[in-house]
Amino acid sequence: MIEFLSASSLFAILLTFGAYEIGCVCQRKFKLPIFNPILVGAILAGVVLVLTRVPNDSYQQGCETFSWLLTPATICLAIPLHIQFRRLKRELPAILAGVVAGTLVSLVCVWGMARLFEMEAVLTSSLLPKSVTTAMGIAVSEMMGGEPAITTAAIIFTGILGSAFGPWLCKVLRLHHPAAQGAAFGTASHVVGTAKAAEISETAEAVGSLALVIAGILTAVLCPLFANLM
Amino acid sequence: MQYLRQFLWIIGFTLAGEALHALLPLPLPAAIYGLVLLFLALETGLLPLSSVKEFGEFLLKLMPVLFVAPAVNLIGSWPLLSNVWVSVLCIIVLSTLVVFAVSGRVTQMLLGHAEAAKAEDTEANGND
């Protein structure tokens, strides 16, 4: 049975999508930020793997049958960006400034705290690109000699944090302009945050996609510089 | 067959992004090249929005599911993290909060200035 489930990519697909669906139901029912579908889905899938004794490696292999869709899906962010772009032209300089400031602060912050905690170079390189979307962050991390699995985990956790506490942060920081909300979600917590921004308004979603693209490019260019400072 | 054609366009742009990533010496991932290419094609009108819209939006909705497996994979990288997870967690939480605040506040401040300047303009024009 374990061999059958391990070898079957259908089991991996069913487990992933099923666990995520349950996560979605939980979120609708409890309406608490901690019931993030990715988080709930990952914990559920992990528990099922442990219970069925299917090795994580076989599960990951099964997931490769659909995980390659991440790059095309990321590319599709050009669609909301295009739809909203004409309406954003006036706000563009302010958004750009916000994203550039946020990205610089992110890199300085991570780098500084990693120095403070005397972290190994591998870990610092893995954490530096944590605010950009997975498809981009993993590539940047690998280029700097980081550990992709840690980068992925940091990116996802960052995304969940932004998605879970972003609406609350908007209130506390009195961010009421949709473009400012979008810039914050997109710069701080990439695609996952932008998906949350989409629930707030279309403008916030479009600014979020714009922000995550610019933050991604900036991070990819600046990260190697910071890595050299280590 | 509308969806199939849309899927083909999206995969085409993905492949173009991968090709640029392989050919150019810049440290940019394939997804950024593809995104910029698709955006430029849509903006210039070379590719009409209807050629990618529905399937593209489906892929965007699907994206969060694609993060489940990498999150589960944390089990695999645990040995590297077991000693440092508290400081890693601190870095992630603090930096995310700071970045959220800085990017949001800076954008809103500048938008506020722009709007205030515009309001002043109309006021000045009104006084003429």
Coil, strand or helix: which one is A132? Answer: coil
Q: Is B57 on the interface with A (CB under 8 A)?
A: yes
Residue-wise pLDDT for B20-68, tens only, equals: 989 988 777 888 899 999 999 999 999 999 999 999 999 988 888 988 8
Residues spanned by the domain of B110: 76-128
C-alpha angle with apex A10: A5 to A16, nearest 5 degrees? 95
**Dist CA A78 CA A149 (whole Å):** 27
Query: Which residues are CB-contacts of A81 (< 8 A; sequence separation ≥ 6)?
Result: A206, A209, A210, A213, B39
Which pair of structure tokens corresponds to residue B21? 């990533």
B21 and B43 in one domain?
A: yes
B82 and B27 in one domain?
A: no
Chain centre distance of CA A59 = 21
| Contact between chains at A102 and B35 (C-beta distance less than 8 A) | no
Residue of B nearest to A103 (CA): B99
B97 and B39 in one domain?
A: no
B103 and B62 in one domain?
A: no
Mean pLDDT is lowest, of A62-71, A141-150, B53-62, for: A141-150
B30 and B49 in one domain?
A: yes
Interface of A with B in 98-127 (CB under 8 A): 98-99, 101-103, 105-106, 109-110, 113-114, 117, 119, 122-123, 127
- Where helices occur in chain B by DSSP H, the ranges are 2-23, 30-44, 53-62, 68-72, 74-81, 85-127
Which pair of structure tokens corresponds to residue B37? 């290419």
Coil, strand or helix: which one is B45? Answer: coil
Phi, psi for residue A36 in degrees, rounded to 5: -75, 130
Contacting residues of A for B93, CB less than 8 Å apart? 161
Residue-wise pLDDT for A74-112, tens only, equals: 899 889 889 888 888 888 999 999 999 999 999 999 999
Residue B96 has pLDDT above 80, yes or no: yes
Which pair of structure tokens corresponds to residue A183? 């810039």
Residue B2 has pLDDT above 60, yes or no: yes
Residue B128 has pLDDT above 50, yes or no: no
B84 and B50 in one domain?
A: no
Q: What is the DSSP letter of B50?
A: G
Q: Are A65 and A13 in contact (CB under 8 A)?
A: yes
CB pairs under 8 A between A and B: 310
| Contact between chains at A78 and B28 (C-beta distance less than 8 A) | no
At B115, the pLDDT band (50, 70, 90 cuts) reads low
Buried b (16+ CB within 10 A) or exposed e, A121-158: eebbbbbbbbbbbbbbbbbbbbbbebbbbbbbbbbbbb
C-alpha angle with apex A183: A182 to A184, nearest 5 degrees? 90
Neighbours of A107 (CB within 10 A): 22
More confident residue, A127 or A195: A127
| Contact between chains at A72 and B107 (C-beta distance less than 8 A) | no
Phi, psi for residue A163 in degrees, rounded to 5: -65, -40
Residue A148 has pLDDT above 70, yes or no: yes
Q: What is the number of domains present in chain B?
A: 2
B66 and B100 in one domain?
A: no
Q: Is A77 on the interface with B (CB under 8 A)?
A: yes
B62 and B89 in one domain?
A: no
**Dist CA B54 CA B34 (whole Å):** 18
Buried b (16+ CB within 10 A) or exposed e, A173-193: bebebbbbbbbbbbbbbbbbb
Whole-number pLDDT of residue B79: 79
Q: Are A93 and B58 in contact (CB under 8 A)?
A: no
Whole-number pLDDT of residue B120: 53
B38 and B15 in one domain?
A: yes
Residue-wise pLDDT for B58-84, tens only, equals: 998 888 898 888 888 877 777 778 888
Q: Which of A47, A74, A123 to mutate to test the interface with B (most CBs of B within 10 A)?
A: A74
DSSP secondary structure letters along A11-69 = HHHHHHHHHHHHHHHHHHHH--TT--HHHHHHHHHHHHHHHHT--HHHHHHHHHHHHTT
**Dist CA B34 CA B38 (whole Å):** 6
Contacting residues of B for A197, CB less than 8 Å apart? none
Q: Position A149: which residue type?
A: A
Phi, psi for residue B24 in degrees, rounded to 5: -85, 145
Nearest to B64 among A63, A152, A192 (CB): A192
**Dist CA A46 CA B114 (whole Å):** 49
Coil, strand or helix: which one is B73? Answer: coil
B82 and B61 in one domain?
A: no
More confident residue, B114 or B126: B114
Among residues B51, B72, B93, the one where a domain terminates is B72
B55 and B3 in one domain?
A: yes
Tell the burial category of A31 from Cβ atoms under 10 Å away from its Cβ (0-12, 13-18, 19+). exposed
B64 and B9 in one domain?
A: yes
